[in-house]
Amino acid sequence: MTAETIIQSLASGLLMGLLYGLIAVGLALIFGLMDVVNFAHGEFLMIAMYATFFLFAFFALDPLLSAPLVAAALFIFGAVVYLLIVRFAVRAKANTGMVQIFSTFGLAVLMRGVAQYFFTPDYRSIPHSWLGGKTISIAGIYLPQPQLVGALIAIAAFAGLYFFIHRTDFGRALEATREDAGAVALVGIDKNKVFALGWGLGAALVGLAGAVMAIFFYVFPDVGASFATIAYVTVALGGFGSVFGAFAGGIVVGLVEAITTLILPPSLKTVGIYGVYLLVVFIRPRGLFGSI
């Protein structure tokens, strides 16, 4: 193992980590807003990947062009999921925590079933896109272009999100609602509207990630499951609800995955991520950046 291979894999780990952060940030946003974990988050990613795939298959639209469309579609989807399911789940009078977990979990199972029914369990991929399969050499390190552009999109998305939360009225309403939903209602902000927009925004972010992922990853009904576990770990590492914790958590996860792949056989690569999760929460039970 030369220094070059180590730098090489750390660099691709970093890129992948930024993408993991982008996948996870929607989950963190929604949790921070209303203390609900969306257990269908992986399936949101899955339908975003399918949407990207079909836009390519039917309209020959490159994933980079369809990304904004997919994000917009996911925004609507997320808001609808809130209005149809989550809105009622958080109102449950008994077993509230359980109802939240299992209503979104049921949605995940349902979406997977629907995907299998309409799209068959086949693995699909986008055979040729602007970036697919291309690499770029920077100072002797080869970086896959899809991941590189994905990482740049992730950084841009995080910057945009930062601006959005701190500089816009809606962002302030979002922050205020997560601080104290009851008080927000008193000053005339419709809590439901904020929550619906929060879900829309969270889904749009994972939609963006899905469009990028579809460039270099297979699309199939269960694709969300493995990325979802990584997303939960990412969010928990950063500390549930901390949007920028998800960013940092993603980078940690990407680097740990790269290092694990250097040491252990590829089939064990997620063991490193899971192990680091356990290590972190055993030492800091609320994650790296979570408030105690």
Q: Amino acid letter at 215? A: I
The reply to whether 263 sits near other proteins by the rule CB under 8 A is: no
Name which of residues 203 to 222 contact other proteins (CB under 8 A): 221
Q: Which residues contact 36 (CB under 8 A, 6 or more apart)?
A: 30, 86, 89, 90, 100, 104
The helix-helix angle for 223-238 and 41-59 (nearest 10°) equals 130
Q: Which stretch binds other proteins (CB under 8 A): 14-22, 67-75, 202-210, 229-237?
A: 229-237
The reply to whether 59 sits near other proteins by the rule CB under 8 A is: no
- State in angstroms the smallest separation of the CB of 205 from other proteins: 19
The reply to whether 232 sits near other proteins by the rule CB under 8 A is: yes
Q: In angstroms, rounded to a whole number, what is the distance separating the alpha carbons of residues 209 and 271? A: 23
The reply to whether 287 sits near other proteins by the rule CB under 8 A is: yes
Instruction: Figure out which of the listed residues 54, 105, 164, 244 binds other proteins, where binding follows CB under 8 A.
Output: 105
Q: In angstroms, rounded to a whole number, what is the distance separating the alpha carbons of residues 79 and 200? A: 5
Size of the site for other proteins (CB under 8 A): 53
Q: Which two tokens mark 166? A: 């701190």
The reply to whether 266 sits near other proteins by the rule CB under 8 A is: no
The reply to whether 44 sits near other proteins by the rule CB under 8 A is: no
The reply to whether 265 sits near other proteins by the rule CB under 8 A is: yes
φ and ψ at 143, to 5 degrees? -120, 130
Name which of residues 140 to 199 contact other proteins (CB under 8 A): none
Q: Which residues contact 199 (CB under 8 A, 6 or more apart)?
A: 30, 78, 79, 81, 82, 86
Query: 192: closest CA among 275, 91, 274?
Result: 91
Q: Which residues contact 285 (CB under 8 A, 6 or more apart)?
A: none
Residue whose CB is less far from other proteins, 254 or 290:
290
Q: Amino acid letter at 66? A: S
The reply to whether 115 sits near other proteins by the rule CB under 8 A is: yes
Q: Which stretch binds other proteins (CB under 8 A): 50-58, 84-92, 173-181, 211-219?
A: 84-92
Instruction: Figure out which of the listed residues 97, 134, 136, 152 binds other proteins, where binding follows CB under 8 A.
Output: 97
Q: In angstroms, rounded to a whole number, what is the distance separating the alpha carbons of residues 273 and 13? A: 12
Binding site for other proteins (CB under 8 A): 31, 37, 85, 88-89, 91-99, 101-103, 105-117, 120-121, 221, 225, 229, 232-233, 236, 240, 265, 267-268, 270-271, 274-275, 277-278, 281-282, 285-287
